[in-house]
């Protein structure tokens, strides 16, 4: 089955409360799309609408170009993996993986090679005879992924698949998922997460969700380099957000004129990433008092109060970092200063 997912103005409500508001979004065949947003923003609901576990009150869902809105989950041909593995405890790994194939009435002679293929893909070929309780959390999650892949879905839905794992395992599984995607380049993946690192690492594009709505969608680089809203700026990476006034004389932060790349009509917030702010003299120079210095191993984060606003600079580790109360100068390049449109993301 060829992949691709399309949400066409999909609205979902529970007891009259809209939790997904007219979502329009297309995931191309073979694309990894992350749905990124805080808890309760409607991400899982969007995923469940694709799987067929919730029914939209309006709008349509398409898979591989076909309208599946009225199809039951088992006829949609999607693989889904949720946070808590949800393996059948009384079934061996191989029978867990075979489960979807049996439900689809795949021929018995087909089942064994398909199970072997899926376990091979997830690095679990040796574990077919074990029961879930005999596996670690990370291994159980691999089995859950193998089970989802066994039906050779065109679309793979992943709902916070790493959040039950500890940090070290998570980073290993992140690389595993990236490898898996390279081996299955035609499968579209919709990946729900509230973790920006996962989204930035894995996704071809990120759809940023907040308050039941899609706020912004773009490549990780676009969203990081040039977010359109304060919400995205703050959620994808860390950001300095400074109030500015934009007039005929230019862009001003207090009395200080700021050079930016491209002016947005009516803009009132300037976004500069902390790692693009330097200490010392330079373009777009600001002076203020150091309020905090954090040592972060390879870098120092120096926070400076400038006209009552905190500006953070992430700089390579300093031999002689400034101290609390020191007056310092900061600067940033015009091409690293993005103006955010007023109101975007604040509806
Ligand atoms: P996210 O995945 O972004 O954390 P969800 O899509 O799970 O958000 O939830 C969106 C909103 O819908 C939340 O306010 C949640 O409480 C509500 N919700 C989710 N599932 C149900 C349900 N079965 N019944 C009622 N409300 C629900």
Same fold for the domain at 5-225 and the one at 230-341? no
Which atom of ligand 1 is nearest the CA belonging to 44? Answer: 2
pLDDT band for 344, please (50, 70, 90 cuts): very low
- Which residues have CB under 6 Å of ligand 1? 14, 19, 37, 39-45
What number does CATH give the domain 5-225?
3.40.50.300
Which atom of ligand 1 is nearest the CA belonging to 192? Answer: 2
DSSP 295-339: E-SSEEEEEEEETTEEEEEEEE--SS---TT-EEEEEE-GGG-EE
- Mention the CATH class of domain 230-341: mainly beta
Q: How many angstroms separate the alpha carbon of residue 197 from the centre of ligand 1?
A: 23
Six token digits for residue 290: 């150091």
Q: How many angstroms separate the alpha carbon of residue 51 from the centre of ligand 1?
A: 15
Contact 252, 244 (CB under 8 A): yes
* Cα distance between residue 305 and residue 340, in whole Å: 21
Ligand 1 pocket mutation, candidates 7, 38, 40, 208, criterion most atoms within 8 A of CB: 40
Give me the residue spans of the domains in the chain.
5-225, 230-341
What 3-state DSSP class applies to 96? helix
Query: According to the model, what pLDDT value does residue 84 have?
Result: 77
Give the number of C-alpha atoms closer than 13 A to the C-alpha of residue 195, restricted to the C-beta side.
15
Contact 11, 22 (CB under 8 A): yes
Q: How many angstroms separate the alpha carbon of residue 222 from the centre of ligand 1?
A: 28
Which of 234, 228, 225 has the alpha carbon at shortest distance from 342?
228
pLDDT digits (tens, 9 = 90+) for 181-215: 999 999 999 999 999 989 999 999 999 999 999 99
Pairing relationship of beta strands 78-81 and 155-159 according to DSSP bridges? parallel
pLDDT digits (tens, 9 = 90+) for 237-287: 889 999 998 888 889 998 899 999 877 677 689 999 999 999 999 999 999
Q: What is the pTM of this model?
A: 0.88
Six token digits for residue 14: 């529970």
Please list, residue by residue across 34-44, b when 16 or more beta carbons sit within 10 angstroms of its beta carbon and e when fewer do. Answer: bbbbeeebbbb
| Average model confidence (pLDDT) across the chain | 92
pLDDT band for 342, please (50, 70, 90 cuts): low
Burial class (CB in 10 A: 0-12, 13-18, 19+), 151: buried
Measured CA distances, 305 to 14, 40, 240, 288, 324 (Å): 45, 33, 12, 5, 11
Q: Rounded to the nearest 5°, which phi and psi values hold at 99?
A: -55, -50
Which of 188, 204, 206 has the alpha carbon at shortest distance from 196?
206
């Amino acid at each position: 089955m060829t992949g691709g997912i399309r949400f066409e103005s999909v609205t979902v409500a529970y007891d009259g409360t809209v939790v997904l508001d007219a979502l329009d979004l297309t995931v191309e065949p073979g694309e990894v799309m992350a749905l990124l947003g805080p808890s309760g923003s409607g991400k899982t609901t969007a995923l469940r609408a694709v799987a067929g576990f919730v029914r939209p009150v309006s709008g349509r869902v398409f898979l591989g170009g076909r309208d599946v809105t009225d199809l039951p989950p088992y006829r949609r041909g999607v693989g889904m993996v949720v946070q808590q593995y949800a393996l059948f405890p009384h079934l061996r790994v191989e029978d867990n993986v075979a489960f979807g194939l049996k439900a689809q009435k795949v021929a018995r002679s087909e089942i064994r090679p398909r199970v072997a293929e899926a376990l091979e893909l997830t690095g679990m070929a040796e574990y077919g005879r074990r029961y879930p309780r005999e596996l670690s959390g990370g291994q159980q999650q691999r089995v859950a992924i193998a089970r989802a892949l066994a039906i050779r879905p065109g679309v793979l839905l992943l709902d916070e698949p790493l959040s039950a794992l500890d940090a070290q395992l998570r980073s290993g599984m992140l690389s595993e998922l990236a490898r898996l995607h390279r081996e299955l380049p035609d499968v579209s993946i919709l990946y729900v997460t509230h973790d920006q690192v996962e989204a930035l690492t894995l996704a071809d594009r990120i759809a940023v969700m907040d308050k039941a709505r899609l706020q912004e969608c773009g490549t990780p680089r676009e969203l990081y380099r040039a977010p359109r809203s304060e919400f995205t700026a703050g959620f994808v990476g860390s950001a300095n957000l400074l109030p500015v006034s934009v007039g005929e004389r230019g862009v001003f932060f207090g009395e200080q004129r700021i050079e930016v790349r491209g002016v947005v009509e009516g803009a009132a917030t300037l976004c500069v990433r902390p790692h693009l702010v330097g200490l010392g003299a330079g373009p777009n120079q600001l002076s203020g008092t150091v309020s905090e210095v954090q040592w972060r191993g390879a870098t120092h984060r120096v926070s400076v109060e400038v006209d009552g606003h905190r500006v953070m600079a992430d700089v390579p580790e300093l031999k002689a970092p400034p101290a609390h109360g020191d007056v310092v100068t900061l600067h940033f390049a015009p091409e690293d200063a993005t103006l955010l449109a007023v109101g975007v993301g604040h509806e």
